[in-house]
Amino acid sequence: MYGDLGQKLVQHAKRTQSLAHLPPYQTEMVRAVTREVRDLDRDVSEILAPFDGAFDPSANPATAYTLLVHHLCMRRNKRCLLAYHRVRVQRIEEMCWSGVVQEDEAVDGDGEASGERNALSPEEEEYLRGYNDLLAAAKGTWTDIDLTGSLEPPKDLFVDVRVLKDAGEIQTEYGAINLTKNSQFFVRQGDVERLIQQGFLQKLS
C-alpha cells in the first residue's frame, strides 16, 4: 500500500520524542520511502507519456484521478520524511544546547557518548558539527554568561554529588578537585555543573 512506510517512519518519530536516547537513524526506511516516491514519479511520467504534454483532465477523468492519487501519495511521503527529520534535528539541537555532545575531541573514544554518536547518520553528524560551531560562535560573543546553562536557578550554592566515572582532576576557580570514582563530594554547584550534565557525576537530592 502506498504510504505504509511513511506511516511507519512517522510512528518512529513519535516514539523518538518520548525516548531518553536518540535511536539510530532509519536509513533503510528513509531510503524505501524515497524509492517509493521515485517509483510513483516514474509511474506518473509513464502515464503522461502518451499524451505528449497535451493532457486534458476533463477528457479522461480516470487518468486524472490516478494522477491525483499518485501526487497526493508523493506529497504525503514527503511530509512524513520532513516530519521524521524535523524530530531528529530538534533532538540534535537539544543535545548541543544541553552539552551532552561536546566538541569532537571530548567525546571521541568515550563509550556512552560515542554510542549516542552512532545513532546519527553522516549528514546528521555534519549538521551537528555545524550547529555546534554556530553555537560556539554565538556563545563566544558573551563570555560572561553561560548560554547553555540551566534555566532553573540553583537552590543551593553547594551540592552533594557522587562520582560515577573517574573524571580525573578538574580545575575550579580556586583550586583543583580530584574526582575519583565511588566517592561522594560536597562541592560548589557551579564547579561541577558541566560534569553533572555530561553524566560523570550524579547529583543527590
Partner 1 sequence: MYIPRSQFSSAYAHLKANASPSTNSVLILCALDIDSLCAARILAYLLKRDYILHQIKPVAGYQDLEKVNETLVKGKDELKFLICLGLGGLVDLSAFLELSREGEDGVECWIIDGRRPWNLYNVYGGGKCFDDGDIAEEMAREQDAHTLLSHSSSRPLGSSPPPLGARNDLIPTSPSQHLPSEPQLPPPKASTKTLRRKLRRLRRKHESTIQKYYSQGTWYGEPVSSLLYSLAADLGREDNDILWLSIVGVCSGETYGRTITSGPPRITGGGWGADTREDQIRGILKDEVRRLNPPDLNSTAAMSSGNANGVSGVTALQTTARSPSDTSIRISPEYRFMLIRHWSLYDSMLHSSYLGTKLHIWSESGRKRLHKLLAKMGFSLSQCKQSYTHMDMDLKRTLKEKLERYAPLYGLDGVVKEGFVRCWGWRGCLSAADVAYVVGGILEIGKGKKLGHKGVSADSNEEVSEEVGRLEEEKEVDEWITNFWDAYDSLTNVEQLKSALPIAMNLHRAILRTGTALIEKRQIRLLKAFRLAVVKEGPDLPVFTHPNALSKLALWISEAILEQEREASKRKHLPLVVASLHERRGVYVIVGTALGAEEESDDDSDDDDDELERKGGRNHFGIAFQDVANSTQARIRIDSFEATVVEVKKDDLAGFLESLSLNLNLQ
Enumerate binding residues for partner 1 (CB under 8 A).
Answer: 157-158, 160, 162, 172-178, 180, 182-188, 204
As measured in angstroms, the least distance from the Cβ of 91 to partner 1 is 31
The torsion region of residue 166 among left (phi > 0), alpha (psi -120 to 50) and beta comes to beta
Nearer to partner 1, 80 or 201 (CB): 201
Nearer to partner 1, 23 or 199 (CB): 199
As measured in angstroms, the least distance from the Cβ of 200 to partner 1 is 15
- For residues 89 and 190, what is the distance between their CA atoms, to the nearest angstrom? 29
90, 14, 151, 203 alpha-carbon torsion, rounded to 10°:
-120
- For residues 9 and 30, what is the distance between their CA atoms, to the nearest angstrom? 8
The distance in angstroms from the start CA to the end CA of the chain is 52
As measured in angstroms, the least distance from the Cβ of 199 to partner 1 is 17
- Find, among 43, 32, 35, the residue nearest to 71 by Cα: 43
As measured in angstroms, the least distance from the Cβ of 26 to partner 1 is 34
Nearer to partner 1, 25 or 200 (CB): 200
Nearer to partner 1, 111 or 175 (CB): 175
Q: For residues 114-126, b (16+ Cβ closer than 10 Å) or e, as one string?
A: eeebeebeeebbe
As measured in angstroms, the least distance from the Cβ of 196 to partner 1 is 16
- Find, among 197, 199, 172, 200, the residue nearest to 187 by Cα: 172
- Phi, psi values for residue 69, rounded to 5°: -60, -45
Nearer to partner 1, 98 or 172 (CB): 172
